[in-house]
Amino acid sequence: MNCYNCGAELSNSDYCERCGADVSLYRRLIKLSNAYYNEGLEKARVRDLSGAAVALRQSVKANKKNTDARNLLGLVYFEMGEMVDALSQWIISKNFQSEKNLADEYIKSVQNSPARLDAINTTIKKYNQSLLYCEQGSFDLAVIQLKKILSTNPNLLKGHQLLALLYMKEDNFVRARAELQAVLNIDRTNTLALRYLKELDEAEGKQSKKQQPKREEEQVSKDAIVYTSGNETIIQPIGVKDNSWLHSIINIIIGIGIGMAVMWFLILPAQKQMESSELNDAVAEYSDQVEAKTAALNSLQAEMDTLKAESEAAIQSASEANEKLSSYEELLKAYRSYAEEDSPGALEKLEAINKEILPEDAQILYDAVFREVGAAAVTELYQTGYAAYQSNNFETSIADLGKCYELDNTQHNALYFLARSYHKSGDIENAKIYYQKVIDEAPGTRMSTDATNLLRSISN
């Protein structure tokens, strides 16, 4: 265990032997973080994923640099279908431990699979669309969309849970139970799935009571005999003579007559017509085969064009996903520089980020860091630029004072000494431009008067 203040290895004492910092509370936090990590590891081994996630979040809360806990938390999120949360944990872990970190392998395994990146983006969009369908009352469309999501990401627990709710709304309890069982197969103690199962049992019990068959009373006349044959109840009147044998003979004779008439008037002419049309049928069949093969070729060509377009779209999506992931990494590096009070370094990293491709939450973090480091960077740049001006290091003073004025155009002192740096370095044209800026932007000041006199001297 190393000291949080100076990085020296700690002994059993409650104070650092190098810098004297009190490390008793820090030591307890590290032990607490490791205890939560061990608890999360045990729960993950028995597939109590939700419980493992809670314990691991407590572990990194106690010690944000516990990379083992962050890597395991990322794996738990990945197993639960939460790809974005998993990548976030691995990227943070990589920034805290850049070498010999398993997070590198996890991130590379995702980056090297454009299809997986595309599936992550598609899953997020389709799940959000499913939620929108539910809000609009289009439950059938939500079910279709969720089925597509789960076909590509079968471990997405919240997808199974939402689909189970939709099935329960439609009283399709069998499918709802199957979806909840799929959740428990992934996360054995998922609290939400267990609660839904309890409500499902109650709903099935109420429905079974409603569907109990009613007894029907049968009323039979006194002049009838009632008996049962298989599943049928037969009512036969009393006193009616059974002449079924006579009726059967008459029906046979009538049937023979009808059969002979059908043969004479229908079958014989049909045989002659069939013989004459066999050739036409053969020609028609050949034509149908040709048309079917032509249609199959056209269909294959259309399918090929569609697959080509989908492939190009997948490559484009993978490229955008890689760019977004790189922006995440740069934003985390900028935040780390800001936390280490390296304002110019943080500002430099922020300027290399394409803010437009970041999601809304990341843009809020970007703006917050930029506001903090911007003010500090302006002060530092003015101090270093003015010091360079005084030591006649005009190349550095021009760079730092110019950057200071670019970040905050109200820094008239920076503007004045920038003009003086150009003047003393021999760049008369730029000196004229910035002297004029001083005159225009700071009228009535001593700097404006000096700039006017200096501009007049170099213009003559």
Q: Is the dihedral of CA 440, 443, 447, 450 positive or negative?
A: positive
Query: 355 and 418: one domain?
Result: yes
Q: Which residues of 169-189 are buried (b: 16+ CB within 10 A; e: fewer)?
A: eeeebeebbebbebbbebbbe
CB-based contacts of 87, cutoff 8 Å, min separation 6: 74, 107, 110, 325, 328
Among 59, 83, 112, residue at a domain's last position: 112
C-alpha closest to that of 434 among 450, 418, 458: 418
Predicted pLDDT of residue 398: 92
Tally of structural domains, the chain: 3
The answer to whether residue 271 sits within a structural domain is no
Query: 366 and 454: one domain?
Result: yes
Give the whole-angstrom CA distance, residue 119 versus residue 131: 18
Residue 370 contacts residue 350 (beta carbons within 8 Å):
yes
Residue 93 contacts residue 107 (beta carbons within 8 Å):
no
Give the whole-angstrom CA distance, residue 378 versus residue 393: 19
The answer to whether residue 360 sits within a structural domain is yes
Q: At what angle do helices 157-169 and 191-210 cross, to 10 degrees?
A: 20
Query: 98 and 137: one domain?
Result: no
The answer to whether residue 317 sits within a structural domain is no
Query: 370 and 453: one domain?
Result: yes
Give the whole-angstrom CA distance, residue 180 versus residue 190: 10
The answer to whether residue 276 sits within a structural domain is no
- What is the DSSP annotation of 358-424? S-HHHHHHHHHHHHHHHHHHHHHHHHHHHHHHHTT-HHHHHHHHHHHHHH-TT-HHHHHHHHHHHHH
The answer to whether residue 220 sits within a structural domain is no
Q: What's 73's domain CATH number?
A: 1.25.40.10
**The model's pTM:** 0.42
Query: 185 and 104: one domain?
Result: no
Query: 105 and 139: one domain?
Result: no
The answer to whether residue 272 sits within a structural domain is no
Q: Count H helices, E strands: the chain? A: 18, 2
Give the whole-angstrom CA distance, residue 405 versus residue 403: 5
Query: 358 and 450: one domain?
Result: yes
Give the whole-angstrom CA distance, residue 65 versus residue 33: 10
Residue 429 contacts residue 436 (beta carbons within 8 Å):
no
Query: 90 and 180: one domain?
Result: no
With vertex at residue 211, the alpha carbon angle to CA 207 and CA 216, rounded to the nearest 5 degrees, is 165
Predicted pLDDT of residue 433: 92
Query: pLDDT of the chain along its 460 residues, tens only?
Result: 667 667 666 667 767 766 767 767 877 888 888 898 899 899 888 888 888 888 988 998 888 888 888 889 888 888 888 878 888 888 898 888 888 888 888 888 877 777 766 777 778 788 888 888 888 888 888 888 888 888 888 888 888 888 888 888 888 888 888 888 888 888 888 888 888 888 888 887 776 655 554 443 344 444 555 555 444 555 555 554 555 567 778 878 887 878 777 677 666 666 666 666 666 666 666 666 767 677 777 777 777 777 777 777 767 766 666 677 777 777 777 777 767 767 667 777 777 777 677 777 677 776 677 777 777 777 888 888 999 999 999 999 999 888 888 877 888 888 899 999 999 999 999 999 999 999 999 898 988 999 899 988 888 7
The answer to whether residue 4 sits within a structural domain is no
DSSP SS3 for 61: helix
What number of CA atoms fall less than 13 Å from residue 137's CA on the CB side? 0
CA distances from 459 to 219, 267, 452 (A): 124, 119, 11
Give the whole-angstrom CA distance, residue 165 versus residue 176: 7
Predicted pLDDT of residue 82: 82
Among 191, 207, 223, residue at a domain's last position: 207
Query: 87 and 128: one domain?
Result: no
Predicted pLDDT of residue 207: 66
Give the whole-angstrom CA distance, residue 374 versus residue 417: 20
Among 186, 207, 228, residue at a domain's last position: 207
Give the whole-angstrom CA distance, residue 167 versus residue 151: 17
Query: 54 and 28: one domain?
Result: yes
Query: 105 and 134: one domain?
Result: no
Taking the CA atoms of residue 239, residue 240, residue 244 and residue 245 in that order, the dihedral angle to the nearest 10 degrees is 50
Taking the CA atoms of residue 181, residue 183, residue 187 and residue 190 in that order, the dihedral angle to the nearest 10 degrees is -90
The answer to whether residue 94 sits within a structural domain is yes
* Residues spanned by the domain of 366: 351-459
Predicted pLDDT of residue 235: 57
Determine how many CB atoms are found less than 10 A away from the CB of residue 74.
Answer: 26
Residue 373 contacts residue 345 (beta carbons within 8 Å):
no
C-alpha closest to that of 169 among 134, 127, 136: 134
Query: 357 and 451: one domain?
Result: yes
Give the whole-angstrom CA distance, residue 323 versus residue 316: 11
